Structures are given as C-alpha cells and as structure tokens.
Structure 1
Amino acid sequence: MKIAVLGTGGGARSHIAKLLELGHEVAVGTRDPQATLARTEPDMMGNPPFRQFLAEHPGVTLLTFGEAAATADGPVINGIDGHNAVAALTPIAGALADKTLIDYAVPFVYQHDSEHPWPTPWGVMPKLDPCDTDSLGERIQRALPDTKVVKSFVTQEQATVVDPQSVGDGDHTMFVAGDHADAKRRATELLKSYGWRDVLDLGPLVCARGMEMYAHLHSAIGFGLGQQFGGHFGIKVVR
C-alpha cells in the first residue's frame, strides 16, 4: 500500500521505519519540506535532524502535508502535534476526502499557567485542551467531514505501537474508536500487521476523549516505573 505519515517527529519516524520494513510505500508530509531538510539541530524532543533519518531510510518521499496525503491509497497517519493538528489538516481536506485518517495526537498545551502545577522530571505537566466535553479526534472529524477519522495508537509510545512484542511478548491491549466501521477495520488491519493481537473497538469517536485523557495516567505510570520520559510498558484489559 501507499501510506502517508504526516509529521516528522519521533513517533512519526517509528511508523515510517516500520511501514518500510513491511514493504509499504511511504510518503511523509511536513509543512515546508525545504525547511525540514535545512534543519541541522535536534528537535525539541532530541531527535536528530530529519534529513539524517531520510538518509538512513531510502525510499521515503518527503512532501507537503497535502501532497503526501494525496498519494495514499491506504491509511493516512496523523503525527502532527496536537496543538497544531486542526490548523494543519483543515487546508488539506480535499486531499483527505474519503480516506482513513488515524490520529494519535494528544492535545497538549505546553508552558501554561496553572494554579496547581504538576511538576515532573522534565518540567510542568502540559494540560489537555480540549478535555472532558470534546476531544482532538472529534475536532479533526468536524474540520474534515469527508474524512474517516479513527483515534488509535494514542495510549502507547509510538515505538511500542509499531513493536508490541517489545513489551510483555505483545500481551497488552490497543484501542480504536471512530464513526466509520470500514475505517476502524483498516486501522485494525494495520495494527495486526504491526503485531497486535488484542485490539479493542471502543465504539464511536466520542470515546477519543477517554483515550486522550489517559495521557496523564500514562505519564504517571511511567514515573512510577522510574521512566522519566515516555514509557516502555503496556496496558491490558482483562476480561
């Protein structure tokens, strides 16, 4: 399949590398390809410049967001940071029409003022916006009414999403939610190709609220395990 990955951060790179390994054609979307290639410093998460990653992964095509989405005949994976996702995706609605968009972004707002901040080993915990009465997944679906949005991948670090066997021999649970059965089926097929055996369909896209709000618990579990950033662990629904 031709699969598009939107974004060039660490999570997007995990998917790009795995998709290449599985034999897919991969187009990567970024806001400004020339600016992305011109960067010589690590990004905010410490990832090396993307041009170095490209050199190590031949066959990847770097395009604008819209151009990359237009190439896909399979799912499009949204790895754009949550704070900017709706603004970046709305102008390319035409390229995403009738396609499955798998969104794993967390709507984090960094460097916010809080009356009761949550200190972490790497700074104040970002807040979620939206939260409780809306979700980023739903906002993306409203902005892209002709796209089939599926919320998934968001309850794990992306390095674990693409390699579930790296934790507990793969005995943990991944979730999908969305309003289109065929799109959830495509997302589930991709997850199974990654090696997931337990994929739980939570139902409609409104359930994205629960998945996104889990982000804070994910961080807390990581801290409890002594993992200061991210987390190499899984969660299992026992039933």
Structure 2
Amino acid sequence: MKITVLGTGEGGRLHAAKLSELGHEVVVGTRDPATTLARTEPDMMGNPPMSEWLAAHPGIALLSFGAAAAAADRLVISGIDGASAVNALSGIKEQLTGKVLVDYGIPFNYGVSGPHPWPTPWGSMPTFAVLDSDSLGEQIQRALPNTHVVKAFCTQEQATVVSPGDFNGGDHTMPISGNDPEAKAAVVDLLKSYGWTDILDLGPLVSARGQEMYSHLHSAIGFALGGDRRFGLKVVR
C-alpha cells in the first residue's frame, strides 16, 4: 500500500521508517521540499537534517504536502504540529478527499503559558488553543468535510506507537476516535500491523477532546518518572 506521512519531525520519521519496514511504499510530505533538503543543521529536537535521514532510508520519497497527499492510496498520517495543522491541511483538502487522515496533533499554544505558568524542563507548559468544547481533530474534520478524520496515536510517545512491544511486553492501550467506522477499521488494521493488541474505540470524533487534553497528564507522568524513561497508557478493565 502507498501510505503518506505529512511532517518531517521525529514522529513523522518514526512512522515513515516503520511503514517502509513493513513493506509499504512511503511518501513524506513537507511544506517546501527544496527548503527542507537544504537544511544542514539538526532540527530543534536534535534530529539530523532530512537529507541525511532520507539517504539512510532509501525508497522513501519527499514531496510537497499536496503531492504527498495525492500519492496516498487511502491512508494519510498527519504529523503536522497542532498549531499549523488546520491551515496546512485546508490547503490540500482536494488531495485528501475520500481518504483516511490519522491526526495525532495536540493544539498547543506555544509561548502562551497563562497567568499561572507550569514550569517544565524545557520552559513553561503551553496552554491549549482549544479544549472542553472543541478539539483539533474536530477542527480538522470541519475543514475537511470529505475526508475521514481519525484521532489516534496522541496518548503515547510516537516511538511507542510504532513499536509497542519494545517494553512491558507491548501491553498498552491505544484509544481512537472518529465518525466513520470503516476509517477507524483501517486505522485499527494499521495499529495491529505495528503490534498493537489493545485498541479502545472511544466512539465519535468528539471524544478526541479527551485524548488531546490527556497530553498534560502524559507530560506530568513523564516529568515524574524522569529522564527518557519509557511508559505507556494502559486501561485496565
């Protein structure tokens, strides 16, 4: 299957590499391929330049967002950051028509910490741009009425999403939200190919609000455990 990953950050790279390993034809989308390939320094998270990463992953193509979305058979994974996702995806809505879009973005207001800042190892915790009465997943669905949006992956680190068996025997829970049963079934199939055995359907896309707001608890757990210690979300029932 030809699957597209939008975004060249760490999460996008992890998904692209895993999908290629599983035998899929993978296309990665970026705003401006020439600019992305011209960068020679690591990104803000310390990932190597995209040109180096592509050289180490032959067979993965880098295209513009629109061309990459058009190339997908059916499934597109959005690793575009939450602050930019609606605008970027709205610009390629025609190429996404009829396709399944997996969104794992968090609608953070970077640089906005509110009146009572939460200090973290990397600065103040950002506030949510939307919460309670809306979600990024729902905003994307409204902007792309002819695309089947599924919210998933955002309650785990992306390294765990693509390889759940790396610790705790793979015993974690992956929640998903979406309005279209067939689209959710496609995402469940993808997760099973990654190695997931516990996938929890939360129902319609409105439940994406809970997934996104969980991100602050996820951060707090990570801070409490310290360092790069891996952990997963498990719903015991």
Answer whether TM exceeds 0.5 for this pair: yes
Which amino acid letter does the alignment assign opposite residue 152 of structure 1?
A
Taking the aligned partners of 2:129 and 2:113, their CA distance within structure 1 comes to 13
- Pairwise CA RMSD of aligned residues? 0.9
Question: Hey, what does 1:120 align to over in structure 2?
Answer: 120
Q: Compare 127-136 and 2-11 and name the one that shifted more.
A: 127-136
Give the match's secondary structure for 1:160.
Answer: helix
Aligned length: 237
Give the match's secondary structure for 1:93.
Answer: coil
Which amino acid letter does the alignment assign opposite residue 236 of structure 2?
V
Taking the aligned partners of 1:116 and 1:19, their CA distance within structure 2 comes to 42
Normalised by the length of structure 1, the TM-score is: 0.97
Normalised by the length of structure 2, the TM-score is: 0.98
Which amino acid letter does the alignment assign opposite residue 135 of structure 1?
S
Offset from partner CA, 1:136-160 (integer Å, 9 cap, x none): 0000000000000000000011111
Question: Is residue 2:105 matched to residue 1:105?
Answer: yes
Taking the aligned partners of 2:137 and 2:119, their CA distance within structure 1 comes to 27
Q: CA deviation at 1:122?
A: 1.2
Question: Hey, what does 1:202 align to over in structure 2?
Answer: 202
Which amino acid letter does the alignment assign opposite residue 233 of structure 2?
I
Give the match's secondary structure for 1:233.
Answer: coil
Which amino acid letter does the alignment assign opposite residue 130 of structure 2?
P
Q: CA deviation at 1:113?
A: 4.5
Which amino acid letter does the alignment assign opposite residue 238 of structure 1?
V
Question: Hey, what does 2:223 align to over in structure 1?
Answer: 223
Taking the aligned partners of 1:192 and 1:18, their CA distance within structure 2 comes to 13
Which amino acid letter does the alignment assign opposite residue 110 of structure 1?
Y
Runs of 4 or more, structure 1, over 6 Å off, are none
Taking the aligned partners of 1:195 and 1:100, their CA distance within structure 2 comes to 20
Offset from partner CA, 1:180-207 (integer Å, 9 cap, x none): 0000000000000000000000000000
Question: Hey, what does 2:33 align to over in structure 1?
Answer: 33
Question: Hey, what does 2:137 align to over in structure 1?
Answer: 137
Taking the aligned partners of 2:132 and 2:167, their CA distance within structure 1 comes to 30
